[in-house]
Structure 1
Amino acid sequence: MTPAQMDRLVQGMTWGMGILLGLLAAALLGVTELPGLLLWPGLALVGTFFSVQQRLARKSRLLLEKEETAALKRLVEMKREVDKTARRYKSLLEGAGNAIFVFNAETGGLQEVNRKGTELFGYTKEEMLSLTGKDLTPAPDRRRFSDLVRRVKRRGRGRAESLSFRRKDGEDFLGEVEARLIDLDDEKLVHVTLRDITFKQRAEREIKQRNRELSILNAIIGRANESLQLETVLAAILTETMEVFTAEAGVIHLQQHDGTGMTLATQSNLRETLTCRLERLACSSDERYCCHSLAVPHPRTCPVVVNATEDGWRTLAGVPLFAKQKVIGVLHILHTADRTYTPEEIRFFATIGHQIGIVIEHARIFAELTWKTDELLRSYSLLEKSSHQLALSQKRLKMNLALVERANKELERLDRMKNHFLGVISHEFRTPLTSIMGGTDFLLASRTPRSEEERRLLSIIHEGGARLNDIVSNLLKVARLEAKSLTLSKATLRLDELLETLRSHFLPLLGEREQKLAFRDLEQIPSFAADREYLEEVFSQLLENAIKFSRDGGQILIAARLIDQIELAGKQEILAQFSAGFFDRMGTTRFIEVEIRDSGIGINTDEHLNIFDKFYGVGDIRHHSSGRGKFQGKGPGLGLTIVKGMVEAHGGMVWVESPCQDLDENPGSSFFVLLPTEEAEQQPAFPFMQGESGTEQEGPAPPQLVP
């Protein structure tokens, strides 16, 4: 029941109760007149009315208070919902992935923008709210923006792609716009969603460009693969590349198989004079792509650029051809007019170089395989022809091998006989020599008067016998060395004392030739173990040779120093020629290097190794002499052989250094003796002492004779 209905009900009940109460009061009081009858009901009615009215007023107030409370609660709930809706709207607006703008449809003013919008344009929100939509677009695209606004007003929605916008810093970007009209009765708004599609457009353009490039590249490769002949492949590649870049000429250089450089492989539309020059010139193998306007000088240009400029070409572009990460060639294209290559074109040109290089390499491999196949077929044909001859030759070969084997055995037998003969003849010479030497000594020592001529003849006989005795002794030493029966009696000695003793022995001979002998750094050499007798013979022989081959008044120097295996390794290439096995057995010991340097006529380099062979003599045989001091005097050629054998028996080696032989300039010679400071790890073999046939001695060894 509504409050109005309740008031009417209460009013009716009040009137009814008043009349009934008035009539009842009149009956009780005995009032019969009408005014009197009406007075009491009226009073009762008034009293009742006021009573009821107060009660109803209280109820109405309570009811109104309840309704006001309920209305207030509903109002609070509605406000809370409105605030929640506003926050939700704000959250959706700010959290949107795209820029959102709300414009007034009539004025064009910006009323709302989200965070993406301010970030996209670079303005603050307050700055953007003072702008209109046209303020956000560059002048050329404002008309398109106005058309979009009119279309939205007319149709209620609109869309625009690739519309340009301008940021606060002046940078332009492309945007995709979706707009719709919102009617709010009292005003109309335009809701705009803006997406930055600059990168999308760029990616789409790049994809289209890549697809175009792949299509072109596939066409080039397809054309090149139509043939496996290298010349055809190169011509097809060059023609297709020239068409792609609208070039008037082109040239391809390929790397030679030996890697020495590049040579011209093919060309198109070049004059003969330029072609001839380019055949002899090519880019280096490390060249990378280049693009030149030939009218502008460049600090670093390849030979193709230089010659193309001289021939009148205006623009040139070159790219290396790669296969398996290696440069196999360079492709150049030329233009008669000035042209600037874009970065995309240069990148595509480089891609062509990487892909086409593989095709060219395959064609080259196929050409090589074809050539090798042809060679194999020719070789097979020759092999078939030769097989018959080979079969015929096998019988002859067996016969020849049998003859060679018999000849080798005969040579070995003769070599053994020769060595045995040397030992025997040396031994047999000692007996008559002893008689001759003893007889001449007796005759010279006797007091029997003799003429001057007799004494001179006896002296000549005595000197000749002594010289022959030395030769026999040397032959016996060589025999012992060849038999490997040399026994060393090592003792501790000092090099300076040893050589000082020898100097005193050679002083008369040095004085006769007016020569000087100098020592250097000998006292710094520590004591070492060696056979004194053998070393005296080694240095005596070397010193005697130095005196013989130095002119009168010359100088001889003997110097020594310590040397280790590291320094010797630096000379291995030279020293290995004189003793091939020395570096295998030298171990970690230190060595004493003794140099005997003369100021003589020198030794030719082609004789450095031969002078250590038996019976080998340097120079003219006319200089042969049995004397010990005659200039260029020559003996039987055994001295250096014995020196080499005795030094190597100590675990060392000997070699010679001399630039040449010159009788006028006297370049001199240096003989080096290398002796270990410690015991060698193993005794060396003496292959140079084996027979002249190069085979190892067999059979009975020659007799071991004592001189």
Structure 2
Amino acid sequence: MNIQTLLETIQDAWVHRVTHDLARGAGVRENVKKELSRFFNLLEQAVLTGDPSWIDPVLFDWSRTPTESDLADGQYSLSTMVSRANAITFEVAKERLSPEESLELLSLTSAIFSYALSKAAQYEFDTRISHATNELRSAQEKMEKLDRSKSNFISVAAHELKTPLTLIEGYSGMMKDILAVDNKNTVQLLEGIQNGVTRLHEIVDDMIDVSLIDNSLLLLNFQPLWLGQILGLLQGELQYICDTRKLNLEIASFKGSEQQIFADPERIYQALRNVLTNAIKFTPDGGKITIDGRKMPGFLEITVTDTGIGISLEDQMGIFDKFSQLGETSKHSSSKTNFKGGGPGLGLPIARGIIEAHGGNIWVESEGCDEIICPGATFHILLPDRSEATDPNVARLFNGETHPTTNDLSPQDEV
């Protein structure tokens, strides 16, 4: 018999056996039977022409539809289906044909099945890559949507809280002035209210700053500044707190600290204050905090080193995320400057946003977290050594770059 007759001899038995091998339910088997008949017909064409690519269409369709999972009820992959079909071809040929006919048939079909197996593996790989890519894209879109929702909530909540806080602050101040002469106890209570309102104002202002940073709307007012003066002002503000907690605050005079650069003095002060306050919070009483720096090509580096409890390696990136908290928050004190003082976890994210908006960078180094050994931590802050208050985008355009980054926007370009 010729090869076409041999194939026709085993076709019905082959389709029946492969269908029952792959499909679990009677309702599924009917659809499976049609697909396997299609596969066998293309297999026949591939054998007759010697071109194995005849079976590509059916393999391609099976790889990109639920066919393979439906046919096998979740048990078989496309490659497994091809392997099973090849094995059953051998079984049926052995049962229905003579040894010589079986050998002739299998010598021709084995090459086709070998090709089909490699093609099935390729299609499966492409399909799984596509599926994984779609899943990652979907997860990324959900994360971006969630992040936008959080940013919107922060922005709305902060602005909504701002007005009632202003009213409370104003009216409590007027009541304090009216009762100052007659009732000292009431004045003390009102001072307590005002202290609480001041703390709430700081939190709301931080929330607004985070919202501006998240939406690339942070305004920078570039002016001449000297880091030495900024650090001196910080020492004057925080020295009392350090004295209260017996902390030794040292500010070194380094090369570049008395050099004039252009940046936003108020925002740089805010960023450095946040970093320094963080060092104070996580340094036990009696510890030491040192501020130093150096001049680098194109940058000025500021380092804030403490003898505090340190930061674990896994937390060294997370501390710059919004609302991050180290350790158990239930064990934190309510003060911003007491040891392990609490807070909303916005200080370091705001510091990073401000530094990066200037075109700089901030990171931390620490050997780990240990409240007994206190390995300490060192924060590194890089600020561009700008000698002129020029628009950074102008230089970029002259250098042939046409896509300025948000971090390099000048005050006039920001919205």
What's the TM-score once normalised by structure 2's chain length? Answer: 0.60
Per-residue deviation, 1:530: 1.0
Q: How does 1:374-453 map to 2 (within 5 A)?
A: 382-383=117-118, 390=124, 412-447=144-179, 449-450=182-183, 452=185
- Indicate the residue corresponding to 1:642 in structure 2: 350
Per-residue CA deviation, residues 513-548 of structure 1 (Å, 9 max, x unaligned), is: 111211213365321111100011011111111111
Residue of structure 2 in register with 1:463 after alignment: 195
The match for 1:521 is 253
Which structure 2 residues correspond to residues 442-591 of structure 1 after superposition, within 5 A? 442-447=174-179, 449-450=182-183, 452=185, 454-455=186-187, 457-522=189-254, 524-525=256-257, 526-564=259-297, 590-591=298-299
Partners of 1:625 and 1:635 within 8 A in 2:
no
- SS in structure 2 at match of 1:458: helix
How large is the RMSD of aligned CA atoms in angstroms? 3.4
Counterparts of 1:26-425 in structure 2, within 5 Å, are 382-383=117-118, 390=124, 412-425=144-157
Q: Is the 8 A contact 1:651 1:684 kept in 2?
A: no
Report sequence identity in percent. 34
Distance 1:461 1:547 in 2: 26
Contact 2:225–2:261 (Cα < 8 Å) also in 1: yes
The CA deviation at 1:418 is 2.8
Cα offset for 1:483? Answer: 1.8
CA distance in 2, matches of 1:616, 1:492: 33
> Normalized per residue, which structure has more helix?
2
The 3-state SS of whatever aligns with 2:286 is coil
Partner of 1:670: 378
* CA distance in structure 1 between the partners assigned to 2:306 and 2:114 by the alignment: 60
Alpha carbons of structure 1 residues 509 and 379: separation in structure 2 relative to 1, 3 Å: farther
* 3-state SS in 1 of match to 2:169: helix
Deviations 1:125-162 (CA, angstroms, capped at 9, x unpaired): xxxxxxxxxxxxxxxxxxxxxxxxxxxxxxxxxxxxxx
CA contact (8 A) 2:256 2:300 kept: no
- Note if contact 1:493-1:527 (Cα within 8 Å) is conserved in structure 2: yes
Q: Which SS does the other structure have where 2:179 is aligned?
A: coil
Assess, with a 3 A threshold, how the Cα gap between structure 1 residues 603 and 384 changes in structure 2: closer, same or farther. same
User: Shift of the alpha carbon at 1:492?
Assistant: 1.4
Give 1:645 shift: 0.9
Measure, in 2, the Cα distance between the counterparts of 1:549 and 1:439: 36
- Among 607, 615, 626, the residue aligned to 2:315: 607
CA distance 1:380–1:444, change in 2 (3 Å): farther
1:410, distance to aligned residue in structure 2 (A): 5.6
Q: Call closer, same or farther: CA 1:416–1:664 in 2, change over 3 Å.
A: closer
Q: Which runs of 5+ in 1 are unaligned?
A: 1-375, 565-589, 687-703
Structure-2 change in CA distance of 1:457 and 1:521 (3 Å): same
594, 598, 620: which one pairs with 2:328? Answer: 620
In structure 2, stretches of 5+ residues that fail to align are 1-110, 397-403, 408-414
Whole-Å Cα distance in 2 between the matches of residues 533 and 559 of structure 1? 20
Quickly say closer, same or farther: Cα 1:385–1:501, change in 2 above 3 A: closer
Q: Deviations over 1:454-508 (max 9, x none)?
A: 5554344322222221111111111111221222211112111111111111122
- Deviation per CA, 1:564-591, whole angstroms, max 9, x where unpaired? 2xxxxxxxxxxxxxxxxxxxxxxxxx21
Kindly indicate whether the alpha-carbon contact (under 8 Å) linking 1:478 and 1:642 is maintained by their aligned counterparts in 2: yes
Contact 1:495-1:522 within 8 A present in 2 as well: no
Q: Which residue of 1 aligns with 2:22?
A: none
Q: Name the residue aligned to 2:15.
A: none
1:599–1:445 Cα change, 3 Å: farther
CA distance in 2, matches of 1:636, 1:622: 13
Residue identity in the other structure for 2:347:
G
Q: How many residues align?
A: 283
Residues 1:462 and 1:378: Cα distance change in structure 2 (over 3 Å): farther
Tell me the alpha carbon deviations over residues 164-204 of structure 1, each in whole angstroms, 9 at most, x when there is no partner.
xxxxxxxxxxxxxxxxxxxxxxxxxxxxxxxxxxxxxxxxx
Partner of 1:522: helix, strand, or coil?
coil
Deviation at 1:598, TM superposition (A): 0.9
Kept in 1, the 8 Å contact 2:179–2:187? The answer is no
Cα shift at 1:596 = 0.7
CA distance in 1, matches of 2:114, 2:331: 58
Q: Which amino acid in structure 2 is aligned with residue 559 of structure 1?
A: D
Within 1, Cα distance between the matches of 2:137 and 2:347?
34
The alpha-carbon deviation at position 383 of structure 1 amounts to 3.6
**SS of 1:560's equivalent?**
strand
Contact preservation (8 Å) 1:496, 1:523: no
Could you say if the C-alpha distance between residues 417 and 605 of structure 1 is closer, same or farther in structure 2, counting changes exceeding 3 Å?
Answer: closer
Considering Cα pairs closer than 8 Å and 6+ residues apart, tell me whether 1 or 2 has the greater RCO: 2
Give 1:399 deviation, angstroms. Answer: 9.2
1:427, distance to aligned residue in structure 2 (A): 0.6
TM-superposed deviation, 1:379: 7.9
Q: Is the CA contact 2:169–2:194 (under 8 Å) kept in the aligned structure 1? A: yes
CA distance in 2 between counterparts of 1:385 and 1:402 reads: 21
Query: Residues of 2 paired with 1:517 and 1:507: CA distance?
Result: 7
Q: Match for residue 300 of structure 2?
A: 592
Partner AA of 2:205 in structure 1: S
Give deviations 1:602-647, integer Å, cap 9, x for gaps.
1111211111111111121124444221101121111111111111
Distance in 1, Cα, partners of 2:300 & 2:348: 19
The 8 Å contact of residues 515 and 552 in structure 1, kept in 2 or not, is answered as: yes
Structure 2 distance, partners of 1:487, 1:653, is: 18
Question: In the alignment, does 2:365 pair up with 1:633?
Answer: no
Q: Deviations over 1:410-452 (max 9, x none)?
A: 6544443332222111111011111122232233333264474
Distance 1:547 1:413 in 2: 36
* Partners of 2:255 and 2:295 within 8 A in 1: no
SS of 2:156's equivalent?
Answer: helix
**Contact map agreement 2:362 2:379 (CA 8 A) in 1:** yes
Give the secondary-structure state (helix, strand or coil) at the position aligned to 1:542: helix
